[in-house]
Structure 1
Amino acid sequence: MDIDVLIVGGSFAGLSAAMQLVRGRRKVVVLDTNQPRNRFARASHGVFGLDGKSPAEIRATALSQLALYPGFQLVEDAAVGVEKLRGGFEVAAESDAVYRAKKLILASGITDQLPDLPGVKAFWGKSVIHCPYCHGYELSDRPLGVFATSELSFHQAAMIPDWGATTLFTQGQFNPEGEVLGHLIDRGVVLEETPITNLLGAKGQLQAVLLADGREIPLEGLYVSPKAMLASPLIRMLDLALEDSLVGSIVKVDAFKESSVNGVFVAGDLSNPMQSGTFAIASGTMAGVAAHRSLIFNK
């Protein structure tokens, strides 16, 4: 096998893994469709040294640096099949190309399952967001809301007042009680039980929400907690063990990002219960180092 490590996914996690491996003088191929989860955001915030740069700009910079290493190759293609072989893996691409590698890193990210709410896609990643550390500062001191999708939204609503006046929209389904309710009240969170039926605004900027009783409430930022969908078919084909997290199912890995299948490492949002660009970069670094060590010590 002439490829040491095949990486599926070329965003923050996958390219971070690739950097460790090519610097270890290994031959690496990255399969990527350039459809990262963060493509809807204008900028990536909170990433050390890269704050405010667009996801596309960060990716382009990383690729320009990786291209200087002779062991690196980027292929714009989708991985659609995988088979475990003696001593490695065979991955089939959508273009009918076949790649054989000693180790495999999955870093293709997840798909966000957004609430079934009219208008949400038009604002997603701009003024409808999920992470205050990633995008909250830019919405500071504006009227903010949290769209309840589970009891996890109570925790989210308790955080957001640090950025602005916050309303928790329970949708009439998720109603806090007891100490949780008391904490939200102490934090100044306003509860609204009437469901949101539409989002109002223009050019990605939310301006108000329309409620089922006809009221319009001014709002310039709405937080939601989408469910994570594991879109890669390779996870099922490899029968990787999964585990539950607050965002949904993720791939179960050990401290070195190795999955339940020896030689398969999983980085980024596929295996991270806490998800951000910084966490993706860190987990990709770990997966790259661990895959390199696996080539040396566990042939």
Structure 2
Amino acid sequence: MQTTYDVIVIGGSYAGMAGALQLARGRRTVAVIDAGIRRNRFAAHSHGLLGQDGKSPSTIADEAKAQLLKYPGVTWIDGSALAAEKTGDLFAVTTADHNTLRGKRLLLATGVSDHLPAITGLQDRWGSSVFHCPYCHGYELNQGPLGVLAVSEASIHQALLIPDWGPTTFFTNNCFTPTEIQRQQLAARQVRLETETVSEIAGEQSAIIKLANGRLIELAGLFVASLTKPASPIAYDLGCELAESPVGFYVKTDELKQTSIPGVFACGDLGRPMGSVTFAIGDGAQAGFAIHRSLIFDGLPQ
């Protein structure tokens, strides 16, 4: 196996593959290291992606991988990247099976991990009746009764957004107390306010909200803005600067997806405050273009 590449891509989901595709088409050698853990693996269908609407996430990813691997410059490595460091002019990446790969550039596409409130039954229904994105899942709930579970004051934005997909109840769950202006905004959007503590989420096809006082509220779907952090420590270990959004941390990049560390790029959910498959693909393509150009122009006499 070749161990020195033009680019090493850590993360082979939508963003990583999109970046690798542009680099392969630029006739560069690319190694993609993929642990096979996509953020949307809990969802049965992916919606809102032009030309792929309604397909399963695994089908979209498998088709993309098959197309990518037709390019001879691409090497696919199933497994995890444990560490990365700069060694001279190259980056050295150590994999879980103790192999070391070297590359002139590094593209981080490891995504983020979602962290949900510690409520019984919530994690079990993530992607089936509990969701984070109404653009991805709201239409299929057929204007049924919906809920928003607060995780912070920032959840007010989500509560004001969701009524376009169905009548909405906002569960503040002891996270914050809405101001008078916020109450007026909720009323203007016809959002019902529920201040009782949520004790459990039940139900099979629906989300049944169990409140601490014993009441049950059945919903077609419950939305919650998960708190996120980078799924891998590699960006942090390399010294990449992080930025914070209302829902968590991500790697800070410029408009070309370059991180604060020269030669290291980040894309997809890892490199933006909010994500979707559409954004991930666009981000990856942008990073691929930028990396290819850096390989050309950074090597010219200055």
> 1:122: how far off?
1.5
Q: Distance in 1 between matches of 2:12 and 2:231?
A: 15
Alpha-carbon distance between aligned partners in 1 of 2:156 and 2:207, rounded to the nearest angstrom: 23
How far residue 47 of structure 1 moved from its aligned partner, in angstroms, is: 0.7
In structure 2, C-alpha distance between the alignment counterparts of 1:258 and 1:173, rounded to whole Å? 36
Once the 2 structures are TM-superposed, how far is the Cα of residue 286 of structure 1 from its aligned partner?
A: 0.6
How far is 1:179 from its partner? 2.1
TM-score (norm: length of structure 1) = 0.97
Q: State the distance in 2 between where 1:3 and 1:192 align.
A: 55
Distance (whole Å) between structure 2 residues aligned to residue 75 and residue 250 of structure 1: 25
Mapped contact 1:31–1:75 kept (Cα < 8 A): yes
Distance 2:202 2:229 in 1: 27
Partner residue in 2 for 1:241: 241
In the other structure, the counterpart of 2:260 is 260
Contiguous gaps of at least 5 residues in structure 2? none
Q: 1:282 aligns to what?
A: 282
Q: Which residue of 2 aligns with 1:167?
A: 169
CA distance in 2, matches of 1:230, 1:173: 24
Residues 257 and 266 of structure 2 are in contact (CA less than 8 Å); yes or no, is this contact kept in structure 1? yes
What is the rounded CA distance, in whole Å, between the counterparts of 2:34 and 2:252 in structure 1? 22
Task: State the 1:175 CA deviation.
Answer: 2.0
Q: Provide the rounded CA distance (Å) in 2 between the counterparts of 1:295 and 1:259.
A: 16
Specify the alignment match of 1:90 in structure 2: 92
Give the TM-score normalised by structure 2: 0.96
1:115 Cα deviation after fit: 1.0
2:72 is matched with which residue? 70
Could you tell me which residue of structure 1 aligns to residue 15 of structure 2? 13
Question: Structure 1 vs Structure 2: percent identity of aligned residues?
Answer: 47
* 8 Å CA contact 1:243, 1:251 repeated in 2: yes
Deviation, 1:290, is 0.6
Determine the C-alpha separation between the residues in 2 that align with 1:172 and 1:264.
Answer: 41
Give distance in 1, aligned partners of 2:149 and 2:88: 49
The C-alpha deviation readout for 1:186-209, integer Å capped at 9, x for no partner, is: 10000000011011112xx33411
Q: Which aligned pairs between 1:1-150 and structure 2 lie closer than 5 A?
A: 2-150=4-152
Please provide the CA RMSD for this pair.
1.1
Unaligned runs of 5+ in 1: none
Question: 2:294 maps to which residue?
Answer: 294
Give the conservation status (yes or no) of the 8 Å contact 1:123–1:206.
Answer: no
**Does the 8 A contact of 2:46 with 2:57 survive in 1?**
yes
Is the CA contact (8 Å cut-off) linking 1:240 and 1:260 kept in structure 2?
yes
Aligned pair count?
A: 297
3-state SS, counterpart of residue 81 of structure 1 = strand
